[in-house]
A = this chain, B = another copy of it.
Amino acid sequence: MANDDSPERARSAARPAREPLSRDHIIDAAIASVDERGLPALTMRSLGQRLGVEAMSLYRYVNGREDLLEGMVGRLVQELRVDPRGDEHFPTDGWQAYLQSLAVGARRLAHAHPSLFPLIATRHPSAPWLRPPLRSLEVVEDFLVALISRGLSDESAVAAYRAFSSFLLGHLLLEVATLGASTAPVEETLDEGDAEVPDNDLPLSDFPQTQRLQPLLEADHADAEFELALEHLLDRLDALVSQ
């Protein structure tokens, strides 16, 4: 409620405004940077600049670039947590409802951070049984608690974790990859240089079926496709559970 003109604020604004450095703050800035400018543009130096600091200062809070990336992935994955006891939108309706809410959350995350989702998908998990994109102990624990408390057996819950991970990874990475093609930071269309790059852009007419079906192939059913595949997965799990 402090007035913007309060002396404290005015004084601190005298030198370039900058919040105190911290690991959390650095990770926030890094995520924002990648969202805005893509992963290759994230540099220790550029990140320092964004924070009003020299690059070397970051090393007090972050063990190098790799550790920074790990921190970013960790932070994003935490956003996947859904109260396993259910909330106002998805009460304790059954495990299907829980998986549904987790799925839409993961999809929202992927869409919100298309340049970062590949990182979540491909960086080596810290334990071999932590499967992307549900790659944190907290998220896995929530998952297991939610399903077991809703009546699934241990084996079913673990099988569901496996199947659900693959499902999310495949669908969301695919959405993000094709979506990324248009969203990607516009790398100025470099005009081919003079290397003898093979004419990889063969005329589409050499591929008659592909050409003929192009309208079908181009149609974007991402939403419906995701919903449908999720329903099928739930059906499959349902068969597994009640057998």
Interface residues of A in 173-200 (CB under 8 A from B): 173-174, 177-178, 180-182, 184, 190, 192-193, 195-198, 200
Among candidates B177, B209, B221, residue contacting A132 with C-beta atoms closer than 8 Å? B177
Which size bracket describes the interface of A in this complex?
A: 35 or more
* A197 and B154 within 8 A (CB): no
* A177 and B137 within 8 A (CB): no
A98 sits at the interface (CB 8 A): no
A76 sits at the interface (CB 8 A): no
Interface residues of A in 137-169 (CB under 8 A from B): 137-138, 140-141, 144-145, 148, 154-155, 157-158, 161-163, 165-169
Q: Measured between C-beta atoms, what is the minimum distance from A184 to chain B in Å? A: 6
Residues of B within 8 A of A60 (CB): 195-196
**Segment from A7-15, A87-95, A210-218 that makes contact with B:** A210-218
* A59 and B195 within 8 A (CB): yes
Q: Measured between C-beta atoms, what is the minimum distance from A159 to chain B in Å? A: 9
**Segment from A28-36, A47-55, A104-112, A119-127 that makes contact with B:** A119-127
Q: Measured between C-beta atoms, what is the minimum distance from A135 to chain B in Å? A: 9
A86 sits at the interface (CB 8 A): no
Q: Give chain A's interface residues, CB within 8 Å of chain B.
A: 23, 59-64, 67, 74, 118, 121-126, 128-129, 131-132, 137-138, 140-141, 144-145, 148, 154-155, 157-158, 161-163, 165-171, 173-174, 177-178, 180-182, 184, 190, 192-193, 195-198, 200-202, 204, 206-210, 212-214, 216-218, 221, 225, 229, 232, 236
